[in-house]
Amino acid sequence: MAELKNFTKRSDNYSQWYNELVIKADLAEQSAVRGCMVIKPYGYAIWEKMQHELDRMFKETGHQNAYFPLLIPKSFLSREADHVEGFAKECAVVTHHRLKNDPNGGGVIVDPEARLEEELIIRPTSETIIWNTYKNWINSYRDLPILVNQWANVMRWEMRTRMFLRTAEFLWQEGHTAHATREEAEEEAIRMLNVYADFAENFMAVPVVKGVKSPNERFAGALDTYTIEAMMQDGKALQSGTSHFLGQNFAKAFDVTFMNKNNKPEYVWATSWGVSTRLMGALIMTHSDDNGLVLPPRLAPIQVVIVPIFKNEDDLAAISEKIEPVIKELRNKGISVKFDSADNKRPGFKFADYEVKGVPVRLALGKRDLENGTVELMRRDTLTKETLPIDGIAEHIEKELEDIQNSLFNRALQYRKDHTISVDTYEEFKEKIEDGGFIMAHWDGTPETEEKIKEETKATIRCIPFDGDKTPGVCMVTGKPSAQRVVFARAY
């Protein structure tokens, strides 16, 4: 594991550990364009698995995909007052549509004569262009609901970027739905939050707290923002997906009305919801360890790697013959297997490489295993090795993968429980917040108090949780009444 010698430990510098891991596991790298990353094939393969499952879940809940333009006229952004306030500050602006050769020999320059009449913005999110489109799609209640999703790239000109967590360009999906009633739109927003929670917990093995954002943390233009919040191994929160009840704000901004069953015009009700390549950050930071990436089997591009230990071609042929039926059996079970018989890398190098890349199960077998009818199995999550009979190994692996998936979730859940506390005084809060984790505390419901806490402690309200203790109390800062405890944390 020579490659890993200089790998920073989580306990030494969590942030540096993360940055190094993204590079060493071959997930992504910085590009030549400020704040934009290159997602490398191994990282992209994980993202594809995420996309595949999410897309299936969206379709199962009745959604269809479509595609809307990358560029948004500047004037569209201004239509919804909160929305422009939230997104105009950091955006890429297209002003010209041509380059030309500098007549003074200065190479290629922007052609000043090719200035656009109206500047175009690279979409930071697509509510405006989509609601401008929906105006033409909706006349009557019969045209509703519209349940559309888009897989796309978006751009927000962030000042401080980190790979996957916050990049100028990122990949995401954005659902945009249109409904005839407030109730139906609210139900849809909650339905999609539940889809996100289901995906996070059952595929990513990342436990999440579901809840509603405080007004300060709402999406620009929403009446309510629902969120799933995960806890990373440094105790910080990561907002992993949001679903917005937009009310009639965008319908009013773009004048989208429908004739209801009584033939009266009404504004259309809206939701939007999205998850992004940020989920990659959540996945990495929830499970990985000082040896590298740890992947839940359901999202691992390679679930089982088989490394033969051989000195010559005859050894390799004998091992291959023995292992071929196992590979076939595993693949018939829908398990993805890589048999790495490359002879230009030593087994030790391969072991280290697949460990860094988080392959859930590794099999190794050499000449002695052949004689004994055995194989060595290593679990990436626990790093434990076992020598097992090769007979029946496929069934064993199938169960092992299931067990890894579950135990990763349980480990993360236990971690969150161990790092979630209730606090009643602001003094204690200020002390405990330094240790990281989630703090359940009473808050008086005002933006002023939330702002004060944020300024003084860098902690924000992650959400007002749907589940858990609903006992009323008094705000830890002002002593005013509080309906229930809310989740505070420092966040990514």
- Contact residue for its own copies among 38, 182, 343, 472 (CB under 8 A): 38
Rounded to the nearest 5 degrees, what angle is found at the Cα of 234, between the Cα atoms of 3 and 51?
75
Q: Which of residues 111 and 444 has its CB atom nearest to its own copies in the complex? A: 111
In whole angstroms, how close is the CB of 86 to its own copies at the nearest point?
12
Residues 292-304 as b/e (b if ≥16 CB within 10 A, e otherwise) read bbbbbbbbbbbbb
Cβ neighbours of residue 355 closer than 8 Å, sequence gap 6 or more: 1, 291, 292, 362, 380
Tell me whether residue 160 is exposed, middle or buried, using C-beta atoms within 10 angstroms of its C-beta: 0 to 12, 13 to 18, 19 or more: exposed
* Contact letters for its own copies, residues 288-327 (x by CB under 8 A): ----------------------------------------
Mask of contacts with its own copies, 322-361, x by CB under 8 A? ----------------------x-----------------
Contact between 91 and its own copies (CB under 8 A)?
yes
Instruction: Pick between residue 72 and residue 476 the one whose CB is nearest to its own copies.
Output: 72
Residue 297 in 3-state DSSP? helix
Nearer to its own copies, 97 or 182 (CB): 97
Contacts (CB under 8 A) with its own copies, residues 395-434: none
Can you tell me which of 62, 69, 392, 472 binds its own copies, judged by CB under 8 A? Answer: 69
| CA distances (Å), origin 5, targets 20, 265, 290 | 12, 68, 11
Using CB under 8 A as the binding rule, the residues of this chain from 116 to 175 that contact its own copies are 119-122, 129, 132-133, 136, 142, 148, 152-153, 155, 157, 169, 171
Residue 95 near its own copies by CB under 8 A: yes
Q: List CB contacts of 252: < 8 A, sequence separation 6 or more.
A: 267
Count of alpha carbons within 13 angstroms of residue 142, beta-carbon side: 4
Query: Residue 313 and residue 130: Cα distance in Å, rounded?
Result: 60
Please pick, from the candidates 22, 25, 72, 279, the single residue that binds its own copies as defined by CB under 8 A. Answer: 72
Strand partners, 488: 439, 461
For residue 117, what are the contacts with CB-CB under 8 A and spacing of at least 6? none
Q: Count how many Cα atoms sit within 13 Å of the Cα of residue 293 in the half-sphere of its side chain.
A: 32
The yes or no reply on residue 108 touching its own copies (CB under 8 A) is yes
Whichever of 128 and 405 has its CB closer to its own copies, that residue is 128
Which one of the spans 31-39, 185-193, 302-310, 402-410 is the region binding its own copies (CB under 8 A)?
Answer: 31-39
Closer to its own copies by CB, 47 or 196: give it: 47
Q: What is the 3-state secondary structure (H, E, C) of 331-384?
A: HHCCCCEEECCCCCCCHHHHHHHHHHCCCCEEEEECHHHHHHCEEEEEECCCCC
Residue of the chain from 11, 16, 65, 425 that contacts its own copies (CB under 8 A): 65
Give exposure, 123-149, as e/b (b: 16+ Cβ within 10 Å): bbbbbbbbbbbbeeebeebeebbbbbb
Pick the stretch among 25-33, 266-274, 369-377, 458-466 that binds its own copies (CB under 8 A).
25-33
Residue 339 tokens, joined: 């048999």
Question: Whole-angstrom Cα distance, residue 441 to residue 224?
Answer: 21
Residue 273 C-beta: closest distance to its own copies, Å: 17
Residue 217 engages its own copies in binding (rule: CB under 8 A) = no
In the complex with its own copies, the residue whose CB is nearer, 43 or 207, is 43
Choices 2-10, 103-111, 229-237, 469-477; region in contact with its own copies by CB under 8 A: 103-111
Residue type, 89: K
CB distance 434 to 418 below 8 Å: no
- CB of residue 342 to its own copies, shortest distance in Å: 10
Of positions 74, 244, 298, 380, contacts its own copies by CB under 8 A = 74
Q: Which two tokens stand for residue 234?
A: 């440094």
CB of 55 to its own copies, least distance (A): 9
Rule CB under 8 A: say whether 23 interacts with its own copies. no
CA-based diameter of the chain, in Å? 82
CA atoms within 13 A on the CB side of 216: 16
Interface with its own copies (CB under 8 A), residue from 9, 56, 98, 417:
98
Report yes or no: 52 and 319 within 8 Å, Cβ to Cβ: no
| Residue 33 touches its own copies, criterion: CB under 8 A | yes
Please state the closest distance from residue 405 (CB atom) to its own copies, in A.
24
Position 66 contacts its own copies (CB under 8 A): yes
Which residue do the tokens 């509080």 mark?
A: 482
Sites of contact with its own copies (CB under 8 A) = 29, 31-33, 36-41, 44-45, 48, 64-78, 84, 88-100, 107-108, 110, 119-122, 129, 132-133, 136, 142, 148, 152-153, 155, 157, 169, 171, 344
